[in-house]
Amino acid sequence: QATTITDNIPSVQGCDSLTIIQEIVFINPTIRDTLPVIEICEGEESEPIFGNIENTSGFYTQQLSSVGGCDSITRVQELVVNPLPTINAGNDTTINLGENATLNATGGNTYTWSNGETGSIITVLPENTTGYQVTALDTNNCSGSDSVTVFVLFEEVEWHTAQSISFSWNFS
């Protein structure tokens, strides 16, 4: 907003005059500085936002003013806290020794299993009862995990023993 002041000043004899035009500009802008969005996963803490560590989604503001208090800048920082994915490694399963088990995880985008395999579906051939943990990342790069146990049944072994044993010793 500007104001113009015009003043005519005549000379002492009243002949010539001097015109002074003065424009006064009142500066009191509020500038809004929106910073890039910060995204974190649930349970994490943000990098400092205006000197504070935050862990709740929302808009955080900082008001900066000039020395005279006329000009100001409002800085706005948005924090998004993404929920952790719910990972499901499937139900525990029972197989016979020598059989495969197929494990199928859901709820994530990329999967890493405790045996080093990757992918949502893996096939395992355990020799004894084994637990498998899967850790998955979602599209926000947040992680979750779950586990599943594969129980292995062994074949029964029959032991045959003689019904009766008789010994006879002859010491002559």
Q: What is the pLDDT of residues 101-136, one digit of tens each?
A: 999 999 999 999 999 999 999 999 999 999 999 999
Averaged over 159-167, what is the pLDDT? 62
Query: Which is more confidently placed, 10 or 44?
Result: 44
Q: Are 129 and 147 in contact (CB under 8 A)?
A: no
Q: For residue 143, what are the β-bridge partners?
A: 137
CA distance 92 to 104: 11
Dump pLDDT digits (tens) for 24-68: 555 555 666 778 999 999 999 988 999 999 999 999 998 888 766
Total number of residues shown for the chain: 172
pTM: 0.65
Residue 73: what pLDDT?
83
Cα gap 39→139, rounded to integer Å: 12
DSSP H helices, 19-114, are none
